[in-house]
Amino acid sequence: MLAVAENSLGNADLDRAKDYITKSKYLTMSDYSYRIDGIWNKISAKQEELAQQEEERKKEAVRKKEEAREREKQEAARAAKDRQSPNSGNSGSQNGQASVDKNEQQVLITATGSKYHNHKCGNGTYYPATLSEAKARGLTPCSKCYR
Amino acid at 1: M
Write the Ramachandran bin of 107: left for phi over 0, alpha for psi from -120 to 50, otherwise beta: beta
Q: Where are the alpha helices (DSSP H) in the chain?
A: 2-8, 11-25, 29-84, 91-103, 131-136
The pLDDT of residue 40 is 82
The pLDDT of residue 98 is 46
Domain locations in the chain as residue ranges = 26-79, 103-147
The pLDDT of residue 27 is 58
The pLDDT of residue 76 is 83
- Euclidean distance between CA atoms 27 and 130, whole angstroms: 82
Chunked into runs of 10 residues, the chain (147 residues) has average pLDDT values of 62 68 61 75 87 94 91 83 59 46 80 88 86 90 88
Contact of 45 with 94, CB cutoff 8 Å: no
The pLDDT of residue 62 is 93
